[in-house]
């Protein structure tokens, strides 16, 4: 069988995920990676305006913060934002904001941007992917079940939560919406001799 059918990681957990995101941890494990988890906990405010620039910059800052302390390891970081009609939507601050976000997204078509940074020694790969998401137009009683449910996610919803029944269709890479674009990540990791399984 070919090498591409296996995931390959350096020994002694040489890969660090600079995030404690449950969904990213789960995805990387599903894709066969062995890694350590060290969240960066940086300030995620950004003066940038362009969505693609914001997610790339934040992903790079997260990865750089950890890479400075672990120069012998490959550091992977990511950042995701939701954009509706040009408005950037991050994680809700409280249930009131979550309610407002869910109502705005109801019946909408919006975009989800995920930026990724990979750093190892002096080699740096920073990229992003974007997908469009069409939401169902749910009645108030259904929306109320989502208010405050996903406080740790940009857009206050989780595409992978089938019980929510909020997402109608995705145009692009499903995993970009979850928080790690599989196709682009797999391509970029090959440059570090790391192969994802599917």
- Which of the pair, 163 or 93, is modelled with greater confidence? 93
E strands, 85-166, where?
Answer: 87-89, 109-120, 123-135
Question: What's the pLDDT score for residue 180?
Answer: 96
Residue at 197 is within a domain: no
Residue at 182 is within a domain: yes
User: Over the stretch 39-92, which tens digit does the pLDDT of each residue have?
Assistant: 998 887 888 989 999 999 999 999 999 999 998 899 999 999 999 999 998 889
DSSP state letter for 75: E
Given a cut of 70, is residue 8 above it in pLDDT? no
How many domains are there within the chain?
A: 1
Catalytic residue among 72, 79, 129, 164: 79
Residue at 102 is within a domain: yes
Question: What's the pLDDT score for residue 114?
Answer: 97
CA distances from 14 to 72, 92, 97, 113, 147 (A): 8, 34, 39, 27, 39
Residue at 139 is within a domain: yes
Residue at 198 is within a domain: no
Question: What's the pLDDT score for residue 39?
Answer: 93
Domain that holds residue 145: 3-192
DSSP state letter for 198: -
What is the CATH number for 42? 3.90.950.10
Interior/surface letters 55-87, b for 16+ CB within 10 angstroms, e for the rest:
bbbbbbbbbbbbbeebeebbbbbbbbbbbbeee
User: Over the stretch 100-128, which tens digit does the pLDDT of each residue have?
Assistant: 999 999 999 999 999 999 999 888 999 99
Q: What is the 3-state secondary structure (H, E, C) of 34-62?
A: CCEECCCCCCCCCCCCCHHHHHHHHHHHH
CA distances from 179 to 3, 10, 122, 140 (A): 26, 24, 25, 27
pTM of the model: 0.87
Question: What's the pLDDT score for residue 154?
Answer: 84
Residue 99 parent element (H or E): helix 95-105
Mark whether 72 is an active-site residue. no
């Amino acid at each position: 069988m070919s090498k591409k059918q296996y995931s390959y990681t350096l020994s002694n957990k040489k890969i660090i995920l600079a995030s404690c995101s449950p969904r990213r941890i789960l995805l990387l494990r599903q894709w066969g990676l062995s890694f350590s988890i060290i969240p960066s906990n940086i300030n995620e405010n950004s003066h940038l305006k362009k969505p693609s620039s914001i997610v790339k910059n934040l992903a790079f800052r997260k990865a750089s913060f950890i890479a400075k302390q672990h120069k012998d390891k490959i550091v992977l970081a990511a950042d995701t934002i939701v954009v509706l009609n040009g408005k950037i939507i991050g994680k809700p601050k409280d249930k009131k904001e979550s309610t407002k976000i869910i109502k705005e997204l109801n019946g909408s078509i919006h975009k989800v941007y995920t930026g990724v940074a990979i750093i190892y020694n002096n080699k740096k790969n920073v990229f992003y992917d974007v997908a469009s998401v069409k939401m169902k137009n749910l009645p108030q009683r259904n929306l109320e079940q989502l208010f405050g449910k996903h406080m740790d996610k940009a857009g206050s919803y989780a595409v992978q939560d089938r019980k929510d029944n909020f997402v109608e269709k995705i145009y692009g890479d499903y995993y970009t919406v979850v928080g790690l674009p599989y196709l682009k990540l797999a391509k970029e990791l090959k440059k570090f001799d790391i192969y994802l399984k599917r």
